[in-house]
Amino acid sequence: MKSLIRLMTQEILLIAELKELCNAEDLYKRLLLHITNNKQSYGGKQYGMPIMQIGNFAWQYTPGQAEEKLTEWQNVLRVGGNKTVATREIIRWKKALSGIAVVNEYPRIWQDPEIGDLEGDVSDKLKPLAWLLSHELAHVIDYNCGATGGGHGKRWQRIYRIIRNAFVNNGRYQMFDTQQVIQFPKKQKKELRMDLLGLPLFDLQVA
Ligand SMILES: [Zn+2]
pLDDT at 39: 82
Task: List the chain domain ranges.
Answer: 2-57+134-206, 59-124
Is the distance from CB of 54 to CB of 5 less than 8 angstroms? Answer: yes
pLDDT-derived band of residue 2, with 50, 70 and 90 as boundaries? confident
Residue 205 predicted with pLDDT over 80: no
Spacing, Cα 65 to ligand 1 middle (Å):
26
pLDDT-derived band of residue 206, with 50, 70 and 90 as boundaries? very low
pLDDT at 197: 42
pLDDT at 203: 34
Spacing, Cα 98 to ligand 1 middle (Å):
28
Terminal-residue alpha carbon distance, the chain:
65
pLDDT at 84: 95
Residue 79 predicted with pLDDT over 60: yes
What are the b/e assignments for 20-32, b being 16+ CB within 10 Å? ebbebeebbeebe
Spacing, Cα 52 to ligand 1 middle (Å):
11
Residue-wise pLDDT for 115-170, tens only, equals: 999 999 999 999 999 999 999 999 999 999 998 888 999 999 999 999 999 999 99
DSSP 8-state secondary structure symbol assigned to residue 184? P
Maximum separation of any 2 CA atoms in the chain, in Å: 94
Residue-wise pLDDT for 87-113, tens only, equals: 999 999 999 999 999 999 999 999 999
pTM: 0.83
Spacing, Cα 135 to ligand 1 middle (Å):
6
In DSSP terms, 145 is beta-bridged to none
Spacing, Cα 174 to ligand 1 middle (Å):
23
Residue 67 predicted with pLDDT over 50: yes
Residue-wise pLDDT for 23-49, tens only, equals: 999 999 999 999 998 789 999 999 999
In words, the CATH class of domain 2-57+134-206 is: alpha beta
Spacing, Cα 178 to ligand 1 middle (Å):
28
